[in-house]
Copies of this chain bind each other. A is one copy, B any other.
Amino acid sequence: MQRRDEERLILVTNDDGYGAKGLRAAIEVARRFGRVVAVAPAEMQSGMSQAITMFNPLYLKRVSEEEWGELYAFTGTPVDCVKMAFDYLLRDRRVDLVISGVNHGSNSAVNVLYSGTMGAAIEGSFYGCPAVGLSLADHRPDADFAAAVHYGEQIVRAVLDGQIERPLCLNVNVPQGEPREIRGIRVCRQNRGFWREEFFRHEDPHGRTYFWLSGSFVNHEPEATDTDEWALAHGYVSVVPVQVDLTDYARMTALRRALSTE
């Protein structure tokens, strides 16, 4: 069923916080399709994954009312923001779409697991509407989001056209560069590979040793051409459809043999 743009309600969130340039880019995409309610973290929440705040009170602040809709800052995680929107702020309204991002930095491969942007997108899809996580392969606070807006709009339009079965959650990554430099959209699978970390070890001004996490991604299949890493590295926008059943079905028979005691 198609709805007229002015009737649609679109939730926007992110993990970089309500003041991030990328949030404005996501709102820029969203407002082309309907009214926008943006509920974003009050502080930077990068790397927060699907985390929820169970043991702290959370504060909500309406930051502004603008021509496209409303912006709220919430003191929780990205997932908390989505829950706040669906289970409180917009409880009696139908939400047509969730856009999470645009993240400053890519969320391809296993980063889908660590990313607060994708945590929020996945959470959004739990509420029965399609959810699109948008990330740009540029960490800079002043990154140019023109290509993310261009391709974000194209992808959201296809999603809202209703040609694709629900539930639907997409992990979209946009390479650096102007829209005309990008080679198109590739539907991919999640690349295999993990992070190997390095802990920077220093002393704080009080003489206490501290550690600071850093690291680099190890691509376990650099030759594979059907992955999101490959697409991004070769100038394509990558789109990975995401589902949340982590069951390793291929293992069940062997495990039953080794473990079951029924």
Chain B residue at smallest Cβ distance from A256: B187
Nearest-Cβ distance from residue A123 to partner chain B, whole angstroms: 9
Which of the residues B84, B113, B155, B247 comes within 8 Å of A211, measured between beta carbons? B84
Docked Cα-Cα span, A243 to B247, in Å, equals: 6
Q: Is A3 an interface residue (CB 8 A)?
A: no
Question: Are B258 and A164 in contact, with the CB atoms below 8 A?
Answer: yes
Main secondary structure of the interface of A (DSSP, over half): mixed
Chain B residue at smallest Cβ distance from A56: B212
Question: Are A262 and B185 in contact, with the CB atoms below 8 A?
Answer: yes
Which of the residues B46, B211, B243, B261 comes within 8 Å of A248, measured between beta carbons? B243
Which of the residues B58, B198, B212, B247 comes within 8 Å of A212, measured between beta carbons? B58
Question: Are B189 and A245 in contact, with the CB atoms below 8 A?
Answer: yes
Q: Is A2 an interface residue (CB 8 A)?
A: no
| Total residues of chain A contacting the partner, CB 8 A | 90
Q: Is A1 an interface residue (CB 8 A)?
A: no
Which of the residues B113, B127, B212, B255 comes within 8 Å of A244, measured between beta carbons? B113
Residues of B within 8 A of A244 (CB): 110, 113, 246
Mark the stretch among A20-28, A47-55, A96-104 that contacts chain B: A47-55
Question: Are B246 and A243 in contact, with the CB atoms below 8 A?
Answer: yes
* Chain A residues at the B interface, C-beta cutoff of 8 Å: 44, 46-55, 57-60, 76, 79-80, 83-84, 86-88, 110, 112-114, 116, 119, 122, 126-127, 154-155, 158, 161, 163-165, 168-171, 183-187, 189-190, 192, 194-199, 201-202, 204, 208-213, 215, 236, 239-249, 251-252, 254-262
